[in-house]
Amino acid sequence: MLETKKIESHLNPTGSFDLADHPVPTGREEIWRFTPLKRLRGLHAEAEFAAPTSATEWNTPAGVRIEVVEGDEARALRGVSGLVPNTRFAARVLAEVPSTLLVDVPAEADVSEPIHVRVQGQDAGSAEAAHVVLRFGAHSRSVVVLDHSGHASLAQVVEVVAGDGAQVSVVSLQDWSDDAVHLTHHEASVGRDATYKHVAISFGGDVVRMDSNVHYAGPGGSAELLGLYFADEGQHIEHRLFADHNEPRTKSNVVYKGALQGQGAHTVWVGNVLIRQVAEGIETYEENRNLVLTDGCQADSVPNLEIETGEIEGAGHASATGRFDDEQLFYLRARGIAEAEARRLVVHGFFNDLIRKIGVASLEEKLMATVEDELSKNVLKDVTGDVTEVGV
Amino acid sequence: MSTLQITDLHVSVDTEDGPKQILKGVTLTIDDGETHAIMGPNGSGKSTLAYSIAGHPKYTVTGGSVTLDGEDVLAMSVDERARAGLFLAMQYPVEVPGVSVSNFLRTAKTAIDGEAPKLRHWVKDVNKALQDLNLDPSFGTRSVNEGFSGGEKKRHEIAQLELLDPKVAILDETDSGLDIDALKVVSDGVNRFRAKEGKGVLLITHYTRILRYITPDRVHVFVDGKIADQGGPELADQLEAEGYDKYLTKV
Ligand SMILES: Nc1ncnc2c1ncn2[C@@H]1O[C@H](COP(=O)(O)OP(=O)(O)O)[C@@H](O)[C@H]1O
Ligand SMILES: [Mg+2]
């Protein structure tokens, strides 16, 4: 029988803005047990945040305000999404950042051109904190791409407020250099009947950990949380999702796909879904698939579904980690396609569906090319010849 | 010219309790331009024969030989066999998510020919092959075998046969699960292939009905990993009337 009374939620520990409530993690905590703390350069602990060395630039479509704000306006934005920090790094970022990058899309604005924010890290030796607020007015429609590259040790909080009926896509691209460390918390508040798409794409960096959370500010909101990651030798890439169904008739759909190659490549996916007692008639589905391309990799995949109500429309999850499917390779090779080429087709196919779901045309081609680059490092080392066009 | 020669083929499959012998000495030659039917009850080893010729890694050849125009097929990798001119239409075609039919077909054609097909002709050829098999042109954008109906999968196999144009085609129960219209469409496709110069066909089937549309030169009855009987097309009629019982009781 389903538990219908209020239960203590372990997925949803009470947060706090007070740093004193956040001791330095030891690695034994549930939410830190997969993360290699020693490689975080103290971002989770006491690292001193220096003045930012990374360069940030953006385009400003008509009608949109994008600005680095300070003082009272910045202070008022801390926690604007309803975020109450549940990690020390998020609490420190909100306590210490002097300024906030604000993207403000007015109500009913229909912004067709994607807002592209480029963060170019310059110095991995200097710890940085950043606070980004993406505020989307009611019934507005827009796409924001946060594009991270270069060298950095970055602790970051991204807050998203999607107003009632807004249609919002937020894409966060982690295409760092090999020396980068990036801890980031994305918190989204999804308004009544709003549609929120969040896409996490992580390729580069020594350690990337993203907590992507969503909660609802009214009934009828819908969240699609997509992720694509590719971990190479020695890389740690961790994605933690939390869909907090705190309103009735809300939806969440989580699909994350990753590939791993090379000694010590480690990926972590933790998908937490909480269906609160008030959240009747919700639908949730989460899926994580990992493709292990070589020996010596580890993919951890942990779906968690916590239910406080019995009145659910649908709830499901799937998690699968595997190597190449021999039957698929046989089928392709039985049509004359050489083994390495067959592997390339299968990996492209694996990511293809997801890339098409992102819905940002300018990104799709770039992502396909990035997948191709990643493949050429290992699986396809000995394949020569033209890049096969993928898709239609 | 194309001759597929199978001589005293012994094959085992890896199971949890170790290797299990399935083919127990199969000898069969498909001469230039011939169509041979293999008929036999479920579990007699028909698919094992087909997969072994194509080189599926699950099967181990423990004896015998297979040659195509004198070349040692068993020494070739799976894709080399296909490039040498062998084609296997599978009983259970495999889904390849995210890989579109058109990309798959073009990649296969490029691999087989050793060069990319000329775009103008290729698009026309693909559209014609799909149309001939009663497949919608939008088929090209779908992922290979994903969400296809049973009939679509089989028709897609025959569309590949027409486009890739091998020397010898092995059709593993391509007729199973087809309604009468689809059966005719598929048979027409196979007959177009046979009409070309020197093409060999090994037609594996459980039922006789496809042999009303595709007349074989030879019929082999397959029982317990061996050929139990062989004859001309009339043998199929006899099987239709009497079934496999007389061969089974002998075992
Ligand atoms: N992977 C396998 N493991 C165990 N037995 C197998 C395996 N594959 C085939 N077999 C056995 O081999 C025999 C022949 O199978 P198959 O070649 O598929 O027959 P057919 O195609 O004539 O129905 C059957 O008894 C089947 O159970
Ligand atoms: Mg069979």
Q: Which of B78, B141, B145, B160 to mutate to test the interface with A (most CBs of A within 10 A)?
A: B78
CB atoms within 10 A of CB B184: 15
**Residues whose beta carbons lie less than 5 angstroms from ion ligand 2:** B 46-47, 91
B158 within 8 A of B173, measured Cβ to Cβ? no
pLDDT value at residue A9: 54
For residue range B66-84, list pLDDT tens digits in order.
999 999 999 999 999 999 9
- Decide: A323 and A296 in contact? Cβ < 8 Å: no
Q: Give the distance (Å) from ligand 1 centre to CA of residue B44.
A: 7
Write the pLDDT tens digit of every residue in A139-188.
999 999 999 999 999 999 999 999 999 999 999 999 999 999 999 999 99
Chain segment B112-160, per-residue pLDDT in tens: 999 999 999 999 999 999 999 999 989 999 999 999 999 999 999 999 9
Q: B4-248 falls under which CATH superfamily? A: P-loop containing nucleotide triphosphate hydrolases (3.40.50.300)
Domain boundaries in chain A? Answer: 19-323, 325-392
Contact with chain A for residue B166, Cβ under 8 A: no
Give the DSSP letter of residue A392. Answer: -
pLDDT band at B246 (very low <50, low <70, confident <90, very high): confident
* Rounded average pLDDT per 10-residue block, chain A, 392 residues: 42 81 94 96 96 94 97 96 96 96 98 97 96 98 97 98 98 97 98 98 97 97 97 97 96 97 96 94 95 93 89 85 92 97 92 90 88 76 38 31
**ipTM higher than the 0.90 cut:** yes
Burial group, residue A267, by CB count within 10 angstroms (0-12, 13-18, 19+): buried
pLDDT at A379: 61
Buried b (16+ CB within 10 A) or exposed e, B15-54: eeeeeeebbbebebebeebbbbbbbbbeebbbbbbbbbbb
Which-ligand-closest: CA of B41?
Answer: 1
Residues in B touching A331 (Cβ below 8 Å): 90, 93-94, 96, 144
pLDDT at residue A388, rounded to an integer: 35
CA nearest to B97, candidates A201, A197, A337, A356: A356
